Structure 1
């Protein structure tokens, strides 16, 4: 008990000492600090060179500038952020994720339509309304950071440098400070990063080739497809060898069996087509040759029959445009591009490689559209089979989804090989204080996959046509155009047989001595 009392008394004493030290002001510290500050200020005023303004003068000038901007309606983001910072809130003074304006500034957002990411509906007053995943992202940022905004449109392009050095599109608007944020999303590139700042990536994307879905082309010689040409040649040479062997055996050994060439030719090809042999085979050499030929033709023709049945049941169509190199090599293909993109800008300066080949090949063979017109161009131009669209994978999926929703058919094909991978993000003005707060929130959305879910919701039927096999199998009935060669052989054979019959008949009537009675074996 004594020990407990002693510890309790010590604790009370320490508490009293702490309270006394905390409540009593320092004796000489405040005076000393005041005197030092005063002397330093006076010294600084005396040492400041002529023409150099102090902080107070700079603040007064900034306030006058902000008043002028407010009267003109052109308040910069820097001024808006500064006003919010006066209330103790600054993007640079606290965690970007926790930053929020106490007084909501009004920002100008540059946006263009790019399905399925953003849809733009112009208004009569020069502004526009937006919807889609990027609109949801912008609204989330506005609520989280606390700002209001007005959406404006530009010339319809994302932005690329022009011959005079200026930039067009939304990049140009942000660069000229006509907009505080470029909604995009923009493909990141070194050239663009020199004039604007990119936010954290919103999503990753890659380009693919979008073409007409291949259709089966009639192949009149398809009945020869089960066996390659050298197998057919091998069979023909083997038949000739069998005919020579059996004919030589019949004539050399003086066997009692037909020894005419036509008889042995007919017998050899009769066996090939599973027809019976009417004559009696005599002699071991002849029998052995016939046995080998029967065995070979049995195996080959059974294999041929099975393969031909499969080919007749299912038509297989080879994919001819499955990569960027495929469309470059096809001189009959016209290219469809989106104008003023990172890809088209790179094609203007690339010096070697496949993109140099693309730049050279596409000259005079390309058409350009704004992002809002790409899906319409796909429906209008690609079905003729002479156009290929080089576009982001998500646009291919959007075309798939919308077309299948309207028609229930899959009329387009997206290449299995991709190219030109890009990171897509929003843009802000160089040095903007909004960059870090926006980055923190985009990263949080990406960690939970929220943007991807928004984007997929815009394409409900994209999986119906998304499979991209190496070959397409199409089940449908064969038409006459698929088998006309077979019928040609039938008709031609009958005509030829009729000609021979008439010729033989006429010769038989005129020269009966040429047709003596033949022995039956």
Structure 2
């Protein structure tokens, strides 16, 4: 920007014989004072140079506001709420105890797992509960967390939302167990192909989802984890994020030329 101002003042000197002393210092200081939110009493002699300055000032307002906001956001210490989205998050936090279902396949799987985090989920648990639905009051009040079947968890969330109108609970992103179920048939049974076709049709036609949503309805927003839209890390601003000021500067330059 300072170089462009120097060019305009040099052209003004040759065309209309208008001289400006210390043009490099004045142009450079003008740009610095603009960025530092300081005023300047100097202005170019030609209207073209002043139009360029007007475009630069509008661009500088946007740039300064954007970077000031980013700086404030980085220096501000927010209140961090610990969010549990996986077994690893669960076992490495100390603020919320958790309980497991008594005598279930998932509990035995955690107990016998070779994965350290899953095994610690069993070892460090605060006890057992018979069913999540029977302990929904304690779960809603946040006394402890629980590893429940997904449909049971949806039912508890639906019950709490219908009573409070708030999403006080959520389902974590990681699934502990997919709870696969199947029909047990005799080997070589003539019904195997028919049952497989029926099960495939139920899933592909969306009938299973309709049945689940009918008997276990719950608000969609309550099922989302608090970090469902959280990015993987801090993303720096790219040229597209600050494209407006540069387009404005280019438009001012085009008006001058």
- Structure 1, unaligned runs of 5 or more: 1-282, 474-521
Report the number of matched residues. 178
State whether residues 333 and 387 of structure 1, in contact with CA within 8 Å, keep that contact through their aligned partners in structure 2: yes
Distance across 2 between alignment mates of 1:332 and 1:394: 26
Partner SS for 2:146: strand
Residues 277-288 of structure 1 correspond to what in structure 2 (within 5 A)?
none
Q: Is the 8 A contact 2:100 2:122 kept in 1?
A: no
Give the whole-Å Cα distance in 2 for the aligned partners of 1:471 and 1:290.
47
Q: In the alignment, is the contact (CA less than 8 A) between 2:110 and 2:119 conserved in 1?
A: yes
- Shift in CA distance, 442/319, structure 1 to aligned 2, threshold 3 Å: farther
Structure 1 residue 395: Cα displacement: 2.0
* C-alpha distance after superposition, 1:415-468 (max 9, x if no partner): 1222333312477xxxx87x9588677545423325543332112334352233
CA change 1:350–1:466 in 2 (3 A) is closer
> Paired residue for 2:180, among 390, 405, 423?
423
Does structure 1 conserve the Cα–Cα contact (< 8 Å) formed by 2:83 and 2:226?
no
Residue 85 of structure 2: aligned partner: 322
1:369 aligned residue: 129
Q: Conserved in 2, the CA contact under 8 Å of 1:445 and 1:451?
A: no
Map 1:410-489 to 2 at 5 A: 410-425=167-182, 443=196, 445-449=198-202, 450-468=207-225, 470=227
Highest Rg: 1 or 2?
A: 1
1:338-349 aligned at under 5 Å gives the runs: 338-349=101-112
Q: Any idea what SS the aligned residue of 1:337 has?
A: strand
Structure 1 residues 340 and 437, CA gap change in structure 2 (3 angstroms): farther
**Residue pair 2:139, 2:146 contacting (<8 A) in 1 also:** no
TM-score under structure 2 length normalisation: 0.52
Aligned equivalents of 1:411, 1:296: Cα separation in 2 = 46
Task: State how 1:30-69 maps to structure 2 within 5 Å.
Answer: none
1:333 paired to 2:93: no
Q: How far apart, in 1, do the equivalents of 2:25 and 2:85 lie?
A: 55
Q: 1:470 to 1:326 in 2, by over 3 A?
A: same
Instruction: Give how far 1:340 is off.
Output: 0.4
1:407 to 164, 167, 190: 164
Q: Tell me the C-alpha RMSD between the 2 structures.
A: 4.3
Gaps of 5+ in 2: 1-21, 38-59, 231-257
Structure with greater strand share of residues: 1
Is residue 318–residue 471 contact of structure 1 (8 Å, CA) maintained in 2?
no
- 3-state SS, counterpart of residue 336 of structure 1: strand
CA distance in 2, matches of 1:439, 1:415: 36
- TM-score w.r.t. structure 1 length? 0.28
Deviation, structure 1 residue 291: 3.9
